[in-house]
Chain A
Amino acid sequence: MLVVVCIKQVPDTTQVQIDPVTNTLVREGIPFIVNPYDTHALEEALRLKDRFGCTVAAISMGPPNAEATLKKALALGVDHAILLSDRVFGGADTLATSNVLSAAIRKLHDEVDQVGLVLCGKQTIDGDTAQVGPGIASRLDYRQLTLVDKIVNLDLSGNRIRVSRKLEGRHEIVEAPLPAMLTVVRELNRPRYPKVPMRLAALDAPVTVWNNQTLKLDEQKIGLKGSPTWVSKIFSPERAKGEILGDGYADPEGTASLLIEKLLAKDMLPI
């Protein structure tokens, strides 16, 4: 069985600023990281590999420098790393992205092994839409199990999976036939740390690049042209200016009292 993990290279959002003029993210000089939720999807795929001997493929759509993200996946132990990169893929919204990713998964299914599971992070930290995973499931007609915080049971002979979904204030146990697409939350697992011999091997390991000559998708369904979403404005929400209370360094107790009074006045402390 092949487990496909979709990972995305995202700007380190703790370091991102928004250009006030163009309303776009200032990406220059900002380091990229692997989307944090995707690292949990990757970890789960690797655990399935350890347990059941599944083959794991990591795919990512992005510019050529997204190869670094896939190298990290290789260092952690994925069997295949495929970068979906082409100018015509650029500017894609979630619909166009899911078209490209689905096509790639279909190709892996045909050429490598039968796909049993597609794992995605619940959302990316740059777009935060949480739509690409479900989009892939729809396009491939897989069952979709979102917000998974535990794989309760994976029955490979019966071709079924049972998971726990983390919802607000409750958990839901759901069972579905395979193939299925899971989006995962951080509580699912603790990602492993790469071993140095694997890191070194990954430096030389190939990342396969598929462009649209490989995937042969209708250009109207991919990239900017295939993206019906139109972003009118991105902005940082206005935040009221804060206030520095007292001098906590010189008078910690007095400052703490000031804060308590303030919170009491705003009815923000339960008494």
Chain B
Amino acid sequence: MTPNPTIFSILLAGSLAVFAWGCWKRLSLISLGRPEDRLDNIGIRIGEMLRFAFGQKRVLAKPFGLNHFVIFWSFIILLVANTEFLLHGVFPAISLSKLPDEIYFPLLLILDIVSLMALLAVIIAAGRRIISPPYPEARTPEAFFILTLIGTLMLAYFGINAAKISRLAESMLPLAHMYMPVSSRFAVMVPAASGAAVYAVSWWAHAVALLAFMCYLPNSKHMHILTAIPNCFFRRLEKPNTVPREDFKVGNSFGVATVDRYSWKDLLDSFSCTECGRCQNVCPAGITGKPLNPRAVVHDIKVNLLENGRRLKMNQQPEIPLIGEKGEGSISVEAIWACTTCGACMEACPVFIEQMPKIIQLRRHLVETEAEFPEELLNLFENMEGRSNPWGIAPSERTKWCSQLEVKPFEKNTTEYLLYVGCAGSFDSRSKHVSVAVSQLLDKAGVSWGILGKDEKCCGDSVRRLGNEYVFDKMAQENVALFRERGVKKVITQCPHCFSTLKNDYRQYGLELEVIHHSELLRNLVQDGRLKLDKTTAEMGTTVFHDSCYLGRHNDVYDAPREVIEMATGTAPAEMGRNRGNAFCCGAGGGRMWMEEHTGERINLTRVKEALEEKPDTICVACPYCLTMFEDGLKDVNAGSVRVRDVAEVMAEAILR
């Protein structure tokens, strides 16, 4: 059986039809999503796409990423050979050999070597999947099938070339050895007499593998070959640390209960996931035994879309609920509430899938449309709405923390910084110590600062992450109006949640504040010589620093708190195994602070144990939630004399004591 253009043309046409149909069937579903503008800053987008899709920057962040990098670039380079192969099959006159020799021979060399690299890479990938898969469920037939296909393609490529070489005149062999070194090795195994047969078998094996790949691709997770590059192009250019606003008009619906309520980008995300599992390997909820798996969330959205797409297009009720316990295609309620919104999944995803906002959208539906949520949140929601703090303490007690201090109110056009104390800093007995430390340090440095006192309101972080957007919207509008009325421009926060909300979320309300976390300000004050550390250093023993998600991952403030500790103690803090962008959440974000944690190990205990591996005397934090979670966790593990201190307390220890 020699290559037959007629048969091949028919097969190719059929495969192209299957490929196009598969792509259309899936990609047309994306148009079910709601509109969202992702076409701003095209130049930057192209740059990001080059860096992250073609440069594979995030893929390479993990050791095994190099293997993917090789496969990716082999694929791109071998597109030349494969395109030639397809065209040649239909029109035998078309061949790369028609190119001038000075192009053709180096090209052969490149293709030969790249094919070998790709072959090795898929063997390594298969071996890894067998011996030590990225996650236990990763040993899928699908994964091995696609690796086998690629491997077959490469072997067939060598087979074709080996057959060609075996029939070459003796005089041509040195040239072949030079430009097709790998294929030449294979050629040794081909007796001259069977050259034609080997050629035919290899050619058809290559043809079948290539066409099978084409047919299979749009119907598998390997769709990412087509979608991952645009997904990097359409990524959110700013950190995905917030969620879009909702429009509270009669007749609107709120949150997401069916996939078509997601934006088109959310749906594209679901087709871009290659199920690498990096998100699930960093998810604090999943790791500690909760039924949340960010990979599965994205997968379930895809399955749900595929199952319900046709009905949704015809405005019919979907068959599989998006929220529910129905297995594949549905996301369980417990999973939805398990998310700490720590953002680790989004930081890990090589193709910028945004898992967290998708989960918050589901929460919005549960809270706003169904009024169904864990019962401990009822008090929280009412306290936030009624008294603008999580505990429901009388707003008149907001200033109790400073009753022994001389703290001035913020005055328009006079005071430089508003110290936005926050609910924890105002009411939580442990965090009040941090507020006192911060205010004393600010005074020591001669900073012009003031507070809103009893007029300060909660920023609304927890209710927003918990999906109670209606209440958040009211709180945000009140705060924005208050800040405008008081002429607040620069804000100091000692809570990363206030920090991120004021800085990022309130921008959606047209309020641009210069928000600075107390760790950044304290660092600056020391650097500017306004806080002097020459006399003494804080006796904190061995310190270890825990990154707050909303300071680090969500806002890229990693160095300031570490520098504060180093300035105050003379030594840089020890680092935990997982730190900075990979840091593990304390368990309190996303409103989890106010919820019970019944399933699996407690997240804070996991993190406390990790901190204790560094044998610290003091665990340093920069967030009131982390402070609470660590103090609680330490009590549970009976860690003896290990203390938890906010970085401001560490600095105060050095300067004020």
Contact = CB atoms under 8 A, between A and B. Distances in A.
A190 interface: yes
Interface string B356-370: 000000000001111
B369 A201 contact: no
Contacts of B369: 195-197
A190 B370 CA distance: 16
Contact of B371 (A14, A193, A200, A249): A193
A200 B378 contact: no
A193 B386 contact: no
A194 B375 contact: no
A196 B248 contact: yes
A219 B332 CA distance: 60
B387 interface: yes
A204 interface: yes
Given A33-B386, A249-B433, A193 B394 contact: no
B370 A195 contact: yes
B249 to A, nearest CB: 7
B378 A193 contact: yes
A195 B381 CA distance: 12
A86 interface: no
Interface residues of B, number: 23
B233 interface: no
Nearest to A32: B386
Given A193-B371, A196-B248, A200-B250, A15 B378 contact: no
Contacts, number: 43
Contacts of B254: 196-197
B248 A200 contact: yes
A204 B250 contact: yes
Contacts of B378: 190-191, 193
A33 B385 CA distance: 11
B452 to A, nearest CB: 15
Given A200-B249, A249-B433, A192 B395 contact: no
A199 to B, nearest CB: 7
B69 interface: no
Contact of A199 (B253, B375, B393, B470): B470
A175 interface: no
Contacts of B253: 197
A72 to B, nearest CB: 11
B579 interface: no
A12 interface: yes
Interface in B342-397: 367-371, 373, 375, 378, 381, 386-387, 392-396
Contacts of A249: 433
Contacts of B395: 15
Nearest to A200: B250
Contacts of B470: 196, 199
Contact of A15 (B250, B368, B396, B433): B396
Interface in B228-253: 248-250, 253
A228 interface: no
Contacts of B373: 193
Interface in A175-219: 190-197, 199-201, 204
B371 A31 contact: no
A193 B249 contact: no
B386 A195 contact: no
A195 B394 contact: no
Interface string A37-63: 000000000000000000000000000
Contacts of B394: 12, 14-15
Contacts of B392: 14
B371 A201 contact: no
Interface string B193-204: 000000000000
A18 B378 CA distance: 30
Nearest to B392: A14
The 9 closest A-B pairs by CB, nearest first: A196-B368, A15-B394, A193-B371, A14-B394, A195-B371, A196-B470, A200-B250, A196-B254, A15-B396
19 contacts: A12-B386, A12-B387, A12-B394, A14-B394, A15-B396, A31-B386, A31-B387, A190-B375, A191-B378, A193-B378, A195-B369, A196-B248, A196-B254, A196-B368, A197-B369, A200-B248, A200-B250, A204-B250, A249-B433
Given A14-B387, A15-B395, A196-B248, 14 more contacts: A12-B394, A14-B392, A14-B394, A31-B386, A31-B387, A193-B371, A194-B371, A196-B470, A197-B250, A197-B253, A197-B254, A197-B369, A199-B470, A200-B248
